[in-house]
Structure 1
Amino acid sequence: MIPPRNELHQERLEPARDPWFHDDRFLRLFYENFHVAHPILVPSATYHDRQYPEFLQLVVNFVGSHYVPSSTSQQYRDKVNAELACNPDRSPCMVQAWLIYSIAIYARGEPQEAQDAFSRAVEIALELGMNKVEFAASLNPETSIEAESMRRTWWELYITDVFMAAPFKGSAFQCSTMAPEVALPCEESAYTGTCDIPTPRKMLDFKRRVFASEETVFPSFSYRIEATTILCRALVLNRLRDYHRDHLQAVENALVSWVNHLPSKKLDIVDSYGNIDEMMFQAHMTISYATMILHLPRSDLQSILSQADDQFWPVASRHLASTLNRPIHSIKATEASRRISDAISLCPNVPKHTPFAIPALALCGMIQLATSIKHTEECFDHHYNRVTLILGCLKSTKRIWGLADAAFNSLRTSAGEALSDSMERWCTEPLRKLFPTDSTPSSTERTNQPTRPTSAISDAQDILFPPIVPGFVDPTCYNDAFFTSIPDFDIS
């Protein structure tokens, strides 16, 4: 007699007797946090029906355990690593397991181990032909959830390849240099909804959108892929020993073009209901990150901070091949960092974003810090508030990911050294700064001033919100509209 399906499933999971393996909290937290940023597995509603193999479920629970403060994730890490290393499986599920595991290990602050795990995922993926256009449809109907999951897995490999290589100044790209054959993922609402997956669109169609007579909107995942491609170009350029200035201008043109060709529906990362488009958040973040990486090494901010050799600080082999002078590069790098801080202020729950946002946040804070040193103290508050915003986000994230702990400590140490004197001067004379004594009217002047009519204070708004003292309003540094075409995020 054949046992019921549930009993077969239980029997298959029996070797993993650890209670944490069966903890539904880990699965739920994985989907509520990590999966939102890296949505390659089937949607949560179909997870149990999919019956993923045990090793992949182990990885899912391992990642979810990081979001439980009391869990001992290091013990789980060793179990998962041992299971993956000795398992001979060469299926797409193993690719997904190694991929998810590598991102988690990267976020834990173990870059070399993460690179090794990622390489295993790429090796199996290329062996299976997951980079080929026909792979997803060869196992399942093209419009099925499983086929969509396969497409997303390849593109997540493509994106992870670039971000994983960013801190390794000499590492080679494994996926991002291949021809983009695989069809593009669909919109998140279609993937998680009850409707059928639409027929996937090709990368060539996405590239041709710039010549369309009418505005064409593609899924958010597509813009994230293109943004990552531009980031890869910036990283490659910084590693070249010699290049023509037109090569630098080409990357700059790509950054500006990406923004100019965004449809109006993709300009914002938060809709009117407060829902965050995580794929567009990552896309915007990636473009700003690429802009910082491109311009910072060529700016006059490079030598300001004493810890400029930090792992999050980019380097370039040559700085002179540019049509711009160093101050303009500084302005563009600072503007890009401002864009990241503005975006994170809209959705500051960093643990729900990709761990790849951590290096971008660290670099954002370092640039704001360097700019605060370079600029006059009139705009000290402006940069100080952005630095403290980033510090706060990293502080909350370091409880989950070790990489954020390293970024937090690096930025905190640099900020403490660089801003100490400015903070002391700012705090010792706050009243004189906000209420200058030489501008206070004398009793005679007050007597001669006209009395405000009673009707003028009848408005409740005047009573509840008195005139704001200008000293409480942070000054801006400059009008940056000339240097960027990216509209401000609507935070009003």
Structure 2
Amino acid sequence: MDSYLQSVSDPSSHSSSPEMYAPAVPQTAPTISPPGNPDSRGPTQTVPAACLACRGKHLKCDGSNPCSRCLSSSSECVYIASRRGYKGPRKNSTANPNKRHASDSPPSAGSESCPMLLGAQVRTTVPASMATFTRAMTIPDAPVSPFVAPPVTNSLQVFRTPYAQDINGVVATVNSQAPQRSIPEQCIDAFYFYFYPGHPAVLPKAHIMNMAKERNIEHLLAAMRWVGSLYLPIGPARATFFEETMRLLYAPETPKDGFLVQAMIIAIIGLDGCRQNDKARDILSDAERIAIELGLYTRPYATTHGCGNPRLEESWRRTWWDLFVVDGMIAGVHRQTNFLLYDFTADVGLPCEEHEYLSGKIPRPMYLEDFDDQLFSGEDREFSSFAYRVASIRNLGRMMRLPGSGFSPEESVDRIESLLSNWRLHLPKSKRDCLNKDGQLDEMMFQAFMINHACTIILHQPLSQLDSSPTRDVTACAPHRAVQSGDNFNLHTRHIISAACSISKMVTYNVPITSHTHFFTCVLTLSSIVHLSKWAAVYFIQDEEDLRQQIRLNIGALNKLSSVWRAAETAGGQVKGVAQEIYRSRKAQQNNPQFWEGLTHEQIRSTMSVDEGIMSEINLLPSAPEQVMPPP
């Protein structure tokens, strides 16, 4: 574990910035209490004695009874009189904000030993209920959410879709009279506020907290706290949450049940977003094995383990299908796994709509055979957005099994394109865009469309005639895919250009970018590769204004996502670097008179204008934030 923790010690700190796409109706985020204001600490308190456990380990003790270390390790906390003749606090002592208190986290021994302190230069006091942070421990760090100001006040206003905070119990009103919430509570709130809408498998907040009183689900809560902490400026406390998550996932006392699978799914997504892909794949393999051993993919599992609670039964169905989707997304965007779960015949029920799950009004589940037969059964059935998300990822699985299909390459591509087109053509009216009937973003349909467009690019790009060599350095999500250029754009080229444009338009929905699943990062990167390849290949661009906006949208969205996900920071930097290189190459080519042969003066002026316009707008976008080290 120590070697792994050391391997993820690449810290960064990002400044907060206003959200570029705010919805019409403002909502409020979870209250984020200041981790510790030096000006409000009062006189420095001296600890008169350390407990025996801390003395024996030569560790700092905070003097509480029991102290935080004993509390976190469930040890007996015993004090004896000190031999040093403690005489009480010094007279005329004044508050020194630069002096470390006994309850503070250990100071950094250097830039390599404690990368967890963020740009918000406030030291964090870790609650006694949390495990102790150690100097050797580092985790994949993430900066302050771009929608949250530096932690200097108790009330912060942000924008968010309302359903995740109302029914789930996330703080929906913020005022100065509200009691301060502990850091673990804030992280749970952030999990439900930002992360949960994209992967809604666990029970809603109020119900998960009640469940925690009845059975051991600390491993699940630990994973939720860690992922929630990625969105908040909590400094070194994040290392504690990460270490606790990794320990509990594999602790001997942790029950191997559906709650463990849920915890693993959350950890997989968090690790993948923090660019710890190898570790994410290891846990994915374990989660798949446990889910299969449990029979989570079978119809009886939900009712057998649902304890007669319809909402819990629905949670188990969602757990299998969310694991199925995550397995497919990792296989599709990284191209290093084979979508193992696609080959299992699952007869578990399809999930219901989000509002039905959150309200507890769970309808009788429908199944994959119902979905596949809907056109021929003559029955008028409405399937959930989650079901269309599952159907979209199944098409990705079919595409990944092409080599053994027995068809020629062209016939194989045509066969899969028929599946992708049929998925789009047969959507009911209520599912033809990413908004629900109330005008709010439907995240499940957002992901379903996102997967469909990504499949189109992955499917058609090898047969397209858009030279991909200018984008060979964009490898943050997957290895470079070499595609040779052609004299004319064929049908496959038109398919990938259309899909890339559709992905860019998805950025414009009026919700915070970080409320989407982190896998949107790699789909944006796919889209950017197509846009940049087109810009590099085409001298005179008919749709120059559209191309400019699409490249700018993608880089801007990646920049926003990088405030939480390190994978987006890397991808955004690579995309921006390639854009700058293509610009320099085009400028050099324009010095050759043969470059302009066959173009009118108006076309020449337009081409030069669009090149400079794209780069001027891209250069105005902030680069990935530089590392800012905490004060000594």
TM-score class, shorter: 0.7 to 0.9
Cα separation, 1, equivalents of 2:586 and 2:546: 13
Cα separation, 2, equivalents of 1:139 and 1:299: 49
Displacement after TM superposition at 1:422 (Å) = 5.8
2:228 counterpart residue number = 64
TM-score (norm 2): 0.61
Cα separation, 1, equivalents of 2:346 and 2:220: 27
Q: Which of 474, 493, 503 pairs up with 1:330?
A: 493
Deviation string, structure 1 residues 104-149 (Cα, Å, up to 9, x no partner): 1011111110011111111111111111111111122676111100
Q: Which of 297, 301, 322 pairs up with 2:462?
A: 297
1:478 counterpart residue number = none
**1:143·1:200 contact (CA, 8 Å) conserved in 2?**
no
Q: Which has the higher helix share?
A: 1
What is the alpha-carbon root mean square deviation over aligned residues? 3.3
Q: Which of 395, 400, 409 pairs up with 2:564?
A: 400
Q: Does 1:90 align with 2:260?
A: no
- Shift of the 205–378 alpha-carbon distance from structure 1 to 2, 3 Å rule, reads closer
1:121 counterpart residue number = 287
Displacement after TM superposition at 1:368 (Å) = 1.2
Displacement after TM superposition at 1:299 (Å) = 1.0
- Shift of the 54–244 alpha-carbon distance from structure 1 to 2, 3 Å rule, reads same
Q: Which amino acid aligns with 2:188?
A: L
Q: Which amino acid aligns with 1:405?
A: E
Q: State the percentage of identical aligned residues.
A: 26
Cα separation, 2, equivalents of 1:105 and 1:212: 43
2:411 counterpart residue number = 246
Cα separation, 1, equivalents of 2:239 and 2:334: 24
- Shift of the 216–272 alpha-carbon distance from structure 1 to 2, 3 Å rule, reads closer
- Shift of the 423–55 alpha-carbon distance from structure 1 to 2, 3 Å rule, reads farther
Displacement after TM superposition at 1:168 (Å) = 4.5
Alignment of 1:335-350 (within 5 A): 335-347=498-510, 349-350=512-513
Deviation string, structure 1 residues 300-330 (Cα, Å, up to 9, x no partner): 22434241672545777999xxxxx962111
1:447 counterpart residue number = none
Alignment of 1:26-425 (within 5 A): 26-51=187-212, 53-72=217-236, 73-88=238-253, 89-140=255-306, 144-195=310-361, 197-213=362-378, 216-237=381-402, 243-271=408-436, 273-307=438-472, 310-312=475-477, 327-347=490-510, 349-375=512-538, 376-420=540-584
Deviation string, structure 1 residues 367-418 (Cα, Å, up to 9, x no partner): 1111222332443332121111111111111111111112111111111111
Cα separation, 2, equivalents of 1:413 and 1:317: 19
- Higher mean C-alpha deviation, range 118-127 or range 283-292: 118-127
- Higher mean C-alpha deviation, range 101-110 or range 242-251: 242-251
Cα separation, 1, equivalents of 2:247 and 2:307: 34
Cα separation, 2, equivalents of 1:34 and 1:200: 25
- Shift of the 46–262 alpha-carbon distance from structure 1 to 2, 3 Å rule, reads same
Displacement after TM superposition at 1:91 (Å) = 1.4
TM-score (norm 1): 0.77
**1:37·1:278 contact (CA, 8 Å) conserved in 2?**
yes
1:166 aligns to what SS in structure 2? helix
- Shift of the 269–18 alpha-carbon distance from structure 1 to 2, 3 Å rule, reads same
Higher relative contact order structure (alpha carbons within 8 Å, sequence separation ≥ 6): 2
1:448 counterpart residue number = none
Displacement after TM superposition at 1:241 (Å) = 11
- Higher mean C-alpha deviation, range 11-20 or range 384-393: 11-20
Cα separation, 2, equivalents of 1:202 and 1:241: 29
Deviation string, structure 1 residues 167-203 (Cα, Å, up to 9, x no partner): 55353322111112111001101000143x1111111
1:460 counterpart residue number = none
Task: Number of aligned residue pairs: give it.
Answer: 417
Cα separation, 1, equivalents of 2:403 and 2:566: 27
Cα separation, 2, equivalents of 1:92 and 1:367: 40
- Shift of the 296–75 alpha-carbon distance from structure 1 to 2, 3 Å rule, reads farther
**1:215·1:263 contact (CA, 8 Å) conserved in 2?**
no
Displacement after TM superposition at 1:244 (Å) = 4.4
- Shift of the 239–346 alpha-carbon distance from structure 1 to 2, 3 Å rule, reads farther
1:18 counterpart residue number = 130
